[in-house]
Chains A and B, each alone.
Chain A
């Protein structure tokens, strides 16, 4: 089966109903996307498919054949430069244990594409289904606002 992951064509030999998460982590050695609940309830496994957020733990890999899959590893424009959302996450100390953060960041990027200057209500609407057991939601909210300012100032978002 042919996929395009982080801009690169790849081919994997797995059943089409294999969850995308396991293809990313175990076949393609991209462990940045995390297994949380395994039922699309927590958001830790969020990736982008054709630019939209997707819970990879319940997405059959056959459904994303020939689509553009982007994981946390492919978010930055190049290995030396973080995505503005990643940078904001560091500057605002958003993570505590960090386990959920890859999913949080992928959802935040989708939010900022839809709402470049989100309100707190927009952030809550987009991010409420990404759970953080450390409860760093206030810092996540600050980081989203900070990233919005950075992108507006020219920080870029590769898409």
Chain B
């Protein structure tokens, strides 16, 4: 005859085990998401992304991130002169004008109300900002993944022309890391 305590023990062990099984992948996903976000952050803070996601209202230029020449800022745009006055749909050298402005479709700064600042943010702060609908233009995580995968202005960062540096990892690796982060539910470091 089996002791009467065996059934409850087996049941408890089973439930705990099942819970552990269910939680382990989630924990793994979160850990993977946090690791992946380090790659994401390294891209967002590279000059090609950071320069149009500045801490202030003036876009930045070059790898050193100096404020845009000619007093250009969000105030310029508000005063009737959009970024696309000078930045066309492709780099100026593509039409035989080396030394002119870089260009890609819908070149511009994030809106003043949702500036999506990359400059000077820690990876954790970047992560929290990125997934916050109140600060990211009301985008879901899959929508963010779509944005970084297909938006031509994002893609320009990996084909910037001239002597401009590119982000630290290839676009495919960035998208893969971003996807891992999205699959984790936006786990933040």
Contacts and interface: CB of A to CB of B under 8 A. Distances in A.
Interface centre among B70, B75, B79, B96 (most CB of A within 10 A): B79
Interface stretch (B43-51, B81-89, B156-164): B81-89
Interface residues of A, number: 33
Contacts of B89: 60, 63
Contacts of B82: 52-53
Interface in A33-85: 38-41, 46, 52-55, 57-60, 63
A113 B85 CA distance: 15
A118 interface: yes
Contacts of A52: 80, 82, 84-85
Name the interface size band of chain B.
Answer: 20 to 34
A126 B95 contact: no
Contacts of B75: 121-122, 125
A38 B92 CA distance: 10
A17 interface: yes
Given A40-B92, A58-B86, A63-B89, A129 B81 contact: yes
A60 B73 contact: no
Interface in B79-138: 79-82, 84-86, 88-90, 92, 94-97, 99-101, 103
A128 interface: yes
Contacts of A46: 85
Nearest to B92: A58
A60 B95 contact: yes
Given A39-B99, A124-B71, A128-B70, A114 B88 contact: no
A53 B81 contact: yes
A95 interface: no
Nearest to A52: B82
Contacts, number: 91
A89 B80 CA distance: 19
A114 B71 contact: no
A46 B41 CA distance: 38
B80 A110 contact: yes
Contact of A125 (B78, B84, B90, B94): B78
A135 to B, nearest CB: 15
A-B pairs, top 9 by smallest CB distance, nearest first, are A114-B80, A126-B79, A128-B71, A125-B75, A129-B70, A110-B80, A39-B100, A40-B86, A17-B95
Given A58-B103, A129-B76, 5 more contacts: A17-B94, A52-B82, A60-B88, A115-B79, A115-B80
9 contacts: A52-B82, A52-B84, A55-B86, A58-B86, A110-B81, A114-B80, A118-B79, A121-B75, A128-B71
